[in-house]
Amino acid sequence: MKVIARLALFALTTGLGCAPPSAELSPADVAAIQHRFDEVASHVTKREYAAWASDFTPDGVFMIGNAPASRGRAAIQKFGEAGPKAISLTFSDVQIHGSGSSAWATSAYTFKAEGAPMDDTGKQLIVFQRQPDGSWLTLAASASSDLPPPPPPLPAKK
C-alpha cells in the first residue's frame, strides 16, 4: 500500500510540475497595484475608512501587531474608525510580484497619528486578488511596527 501511495504522490507532483506557468504581471497590473498603495494612503490620511475598507475584497483580512485580525470590510472599517487618528501614511520601497490573478507586495510604511509621541515606521506584506473586472483588491494585509513593543503594565499596588 505504501508503494501505491508513493507512486500516486510522485505522479501528482510531477504532473503539477508540467503545468504551464501563469502569465507574469503586466506593466499595467503593476501600475494598478501601485495605485492601490496611493489610494490607501489617501483614504487613511483623509480618514475615509469606508473607502479604505472597500480597497479590500469582501472577505479581506487586515492584521496589525497588538490587535486581533479584522475580517471583512465592516470589521476593517470599524478598526479604522476606532484606531489612531491619522495625520499621514506613506509607503516606500514598494516591491510588487505575482502572476495570473494573484499578486503580493512588500513595503515600508511611515504612519503619523494625532497625539503619538513619534511616527510609527514598519513593514507590511499585502496579498492582492484580481477581480472579474480586472481591478485589484487587497485579500490580506499584515503590518508590523519597527518600534519596540510597549512596556508591560505595572503590577497593581496592594
> CATH number of the domain that 111 lies in?
3.10.450.50
Task: Please report whether residue 98 resides in a domain.
Answer: yes
Q: Write down the H helix ranges in the chain.
A: 2-17, 27-45, 49-53, 73-82
Task: Please report whether residue 117 resides in a domain.
Answer: yes
pLDDT digits (tens, 9 = 90+) for 49-67: 999 999 999 999 999 988 9
Task: Please report whether residue 122 resides in a domain.
Answer: yes
Cα–chain center distance at 5: 38
How many distinct structural domains can be found in the chain? 1
pLDDT digits (tens, 9 = 90+) for 88-106: 999 999 999 999 999 999 9
The per-residue pLDDT of the chain, averaged, comes to: 87
- Residue carrying C-alpha cell 486578488: 129
pLDDT digits (tens, 9 = 90+) for 19-38: 444 578 999 999 999 999 99
Q: Give the percent of the chain with pLDDT over 90.
A: 73
Q: Which contiguous run of DSSP H or E holds residue 151? A: none
Q: Give the percent of the chain with pLDDT over 70.
A: 86
Q: What is the pTM of this model?
A: 0.79
Query: Which cell goes with 42?
Result: 489617501
Task: Please report whether residue 9 resides in a domain.
Answer: no
Q: Which residue has the higher pLDDT, 37 or 3?
A: 37
Range of the domain at 33: 23-145
